[in-house]
């Protein structure tokens, strides 16, 4: 494909990817208003976020496997269609039960978009040329991640729009993506006789959901040391062990266990998990820090994240261009991991009185590191696996990155709540005030800063400033471990043929697909 054809096909992919990222981030600033309007409680608040994240994370490997068996373009459009249905249901919800269900549907669609966009890119673009397009992909990821809370804050603050538009706003982008994909993405339809491993798929989804529910709710809905923890962790581990046993025996596993024998895939998977913990776990609380500790509005809080997104956008785009020009990629993984670790370390020094100029520099350093690291981990893995396993390898990396983000967000959120409570208790004791109120404020949710008297507001600002800095300090070692994993990845020359070309060559050489089935039948462009 020419550069023009690739850019045309990428337009639909990027619109779809933006929709997927936006779905997970746009409601963050709107949730208090949503829950209040629907008359729901704190547990519903948690589940509106968790439902989408669970569905997305758990279904990513399934979408990746389906992409190795069926038409990728059709699967992309199906996932976008699911997203549209989920968004409309969410926007028209009049009770929290329907809202949570709609978030599950949204999450399943977003899981398909997250996995398939990168798989399709690898299918149509040779690894040697993929770097610059992966940089664009990383930039879209950054824009969606940081713009989501900003857009959500503006919609909620605009009286004639309201929170329902947080869900409706993604529908035009999804419909545009479906149209662009139909017109610009031309992939041969591969017909294979294959059996889906439904038992393995069920065990993987059930096991992952059990563990994700545990890390999401532990410390909030129940104690870390409780019978619920034992039931969810024990059940999750048993289900995943059974999944491994099943996957090892079937002809068409959802996650081919053999790919982990590949050193590059194993190390990039570990690094993706650690990047997820460090990046999502550390940065998701920045908006809260801006609003509570620095006293900014939701809209201003979204704007204050721009230095991080600009750093990520510039570094991912520039690094991608250089990688495509030179063919060298490992140095950018190493420099990215070092820079991300340094950025997290710098952010661990912030407080309630940190100057925004200094804070902007720290966030930019963090963004530059993530931009060089995140997408190029996927590039390294895609370059080193057979074309028949591109979907599985790509989805595994996306899955572990999302899993790391979920774990990091949940665990660091519990650390934040405990540190806020202890800091407020200490400050109230020093001030001679009532200790009990401070403890409840630390654990009972984000306080309404406008309703607090000035002395109490200063105590809360200080507590959230100290606690947020501690989160970044805890996240820093995970980034350092990601650096160690990256150092052991062996740099291999980037291939000059696309995934579809490599699949054709592999089939011609062996007379069979990588799974041992008959030679695929390739029809005209879909």
Query: Residue 358 belongs to a domain with what CATH number?
Result: 1.20.1250.20
Identify the bridge partners of residue 525 per DSSP, sorted by sequence position: 188
The whole-number average pLDDT for the span 222-227 is 82
* Residue 217 and residue 140 share a domain: no
Question: At 513, is the pLDDT very low, low, confident or very high (cuts 50, 70, 90)?
Answer: very low
| Co-location of 393 and 473 in the same domain | yes
Residue 408, domain member (yes or no) = yes
Over 70: is that where the pLDDT of 40 sits?
Answer: no
pLDDT of residue 151: 80
291 and 200 co-located in one domain: no
Low-confidence winner among 45-59, 78-92, 440-454 (lowest mean pLDDT): 440-454
**pLDDT of the residue at 397:** 86
Maximum mean pLDDT: which of 25-39, 283-297, 346-360 = 346-360
Q: Which of the listed residues 235, 251, 267 is the one where a domain comes to its end?
A: 251
Tokens linked to 169? 């706003």
* Pair 172, 211 in one domain: no
Q: To which H or E segment does residue 320 belong? A: helix 306-326
pLDDT (tens digit per residue) in 128-153 = 777 777 777 777 777 777 677 778 77
**pLDDT at residue 296 greater than cutoff 90:** no
Could you tell me if residue 512 is inside a domain?
no
Where does the pLDDT of residue 446 fall: very low under 50, low under 70, confident under 90, or very high at 90 and above? low
> Looking at 237-251, 322-336, 419-433, which range is the least confident one?
419-433
Higher pLDDT: 388 or 446? It is 388
Helix (H, G, I), strand (E, B) or coil at 518: coil
Confidence of residue 481 (pLDDT cuts 50, 70, 90): very high
**Mean pLDDT to the nearest integer, 69-98:** 88
In this prediction, residue 435 carries a pLDDT of: 43
How many CB atoms neighbour CB 223 within 10 A?
Answer: 11
What pLDDT score does 334 carry? 94
pLDDT grade, residue 515 (50/70/90)?
very low
Q: Which of 419, 400, 421 is nearest to 411 (CA)?
A: 419
Q: What is the pLDDT of residue 35?
A: 75
Clarify whether residues 91 and 228 are in a common domain.
Answer: no
Tell me how far apart the alpha carbons of residues 226 and 218 are, in angstroms, rounded to a whole number: 9
Look at residue 440 and tell me whether its pLDDT is greater than 60: no
Residue 283 has pLDDT above 80, yes or no: no
Total number of domains constituting the chain: 2
Give percent above pLDDT 90 in the chain. Answer: 13
Residue 455 has pLDDT above 80, yes or no: no
For residues 206 and 388, the model is more confident at 206
Q: Are 285 and 246 within one domain?
A: no
Q: Is residue 523 part of a domain?
A: no
In a domain, 449, yes or no: yes
Has residue 294 been placed in a domain?
A: yes
Residue 487 has pLDDT above 90, yes or no: yes
138 and 269 in a single domain? The answer is: yes
In a domain, 19, yes or no: yes
Same domain, 36 and 167: yes
Higher pLDDT, 411 or 333: 333
Please check the confidence at residue 55 and state whether its pLDDT lies above 80.
Answer: yes
Determine the angle formed by the axes of helices 454-487 and 435-443, rounding to 10 degrees.
Answer: 40
Where in the sequence is the domain holding 400, given as residue range(s)?
3-185+252-501
**175 and 231 assigned to the same domain:** no
Integer Cα distance of 219 and 232 in angstroms: 14
pLDDT band (50, 70, 90) for residue 241: very high
Residue that the structure tokens 């039948």 belong to: 521
- Average confidence score pLDDT of the chain: 79
Q: What is the pLDDT of residue 376?
A: 86
- What lies within 8 Å, CB to CB, of 212 at 6+ separation is 50, 53, 54, 57, 58, 403, 406
293 and 437 housed in the same domain: yes
Q: Are residues 141 and 153 in the same domain?
A: yes
Nearest partner of 277 among 124, 423, 481, 456, judged by Cα: 481
The predicted pLDDT at position 526 comes to 44
pLDDT interval class at 38 (50, 70, 90): confident
Q: Is residue 510 part of a domain?
A: no
pLDDT band at residue 111 under the 50/70/90 scheme: confident
Question: According to the model, what pLDDT value does residue 486 have?
Answer: 93
Residue 507 belongs to a domain: no
Q: Once rounded to an integer, what is the mean pLDDT over residues 295-319?
A: 81
Residues 463 and 446 in one domain: yes
């Amino acid at each position: 494909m020419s550069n023009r054809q690739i850019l045309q096909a990428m337009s639909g992919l990027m619109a779809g990817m933006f929709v997927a990222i936006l779905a997970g981030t746009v409601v963050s600033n709107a949730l208090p208003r949503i829950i209040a309007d629907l008359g729901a409680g704190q547990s519903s608040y948690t589940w509106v976020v968790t439902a989408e994240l669970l569905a997305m994370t758990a279904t990513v490997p399934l979408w990746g496997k389906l992409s190795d068996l069926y038409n990728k373009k059709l699967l992309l459009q199906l996932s976008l269609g699911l997203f549209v249905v989920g968004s409309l249901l969410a926007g028209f919800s009049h009770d929290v039960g329907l809202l949570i269900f709609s978030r599950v549907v949204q999450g399943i669609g977003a899981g398909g978009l997250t996995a398939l966009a990168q798989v399709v890119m690898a299918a149509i673009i040779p690894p040697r040329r993929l770097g610059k397009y992966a940089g664009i992909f990383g930039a879209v990821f950054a824009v969606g991640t940081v713009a989501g809370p900003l857009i959500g804050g503006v919609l909620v603050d605009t009286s004639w729009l309201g929170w329902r538009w947080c869900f409706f706003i993604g529908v035009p982008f999804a419909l545009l993506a479906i149209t662009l994909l139909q017109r610009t993405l031309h992939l041969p339809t591969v017909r294979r006789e294959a059996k889906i491993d439904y038992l393995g798929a069920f065990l993987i989804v059930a096991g992952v959901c059990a563990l994700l529910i545990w890390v999401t709710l532990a410390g909030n809905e129940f104690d870390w040391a409780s019978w619920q923890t034992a039931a969810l962790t024990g059940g999750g581990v048993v289900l995943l062990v059974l999944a491994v046993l099943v996957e090892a025996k079937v002809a068409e596993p959802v996650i081919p266990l053999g790919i982990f024998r590949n050193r590059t895939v194993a190390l990039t998977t570990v690094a993706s998990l650690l990047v997820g913990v460090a990046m999502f776990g550390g940065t998701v609380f920045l908006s809260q820090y801006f609003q509570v500790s620095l006293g900014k509005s939701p809209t201003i809080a979204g704007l204050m994240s721009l230095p991080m997104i600009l750093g990520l956008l510039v570094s991912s785009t520039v690094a991608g261009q250089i990688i495509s020009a030179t063919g060298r990629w490992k140095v950018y993984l190493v420099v990215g991991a070092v820079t991300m670790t340094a950025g997290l370390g710098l952010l661990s020094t912030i407080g309630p009185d940190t100057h925004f100029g200094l804070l902007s520099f720290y966030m930019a350093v963090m963004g530059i590191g993530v931009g060089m690291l995140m997408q190029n981990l996927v590039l390294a893995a895609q370059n080193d696996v057979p074309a028949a396993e591109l979907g599985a390898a790509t989805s595994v990396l996306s899955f572990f990155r999302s899993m790391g983000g979920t774990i990091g967000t949940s665990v660091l959120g519990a650390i934040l709540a405990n540190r806020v409570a202890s800091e407020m208790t200490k400050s109230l004791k020093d001030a001679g005030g009532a200790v009990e109120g401070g403890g409840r404020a630390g654990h009972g949710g984000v306080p309404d800063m406008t309703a607090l008297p000035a002395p109490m507001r200063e105590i809360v600002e200080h507590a959230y400033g100290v606690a947020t800095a501690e989160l970044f300090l805890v996240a820093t070692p995970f980034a350092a471990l990601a650096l160690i994993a990256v150092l052991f990845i062996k740099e291999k020359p980037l291939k000059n043929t696309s995934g579809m070309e490599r699949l054709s060559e592999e089939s011609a050489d062996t007379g069979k697909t990588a799974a041992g089935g008959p030679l695929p039948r390739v029809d005209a462009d879909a």
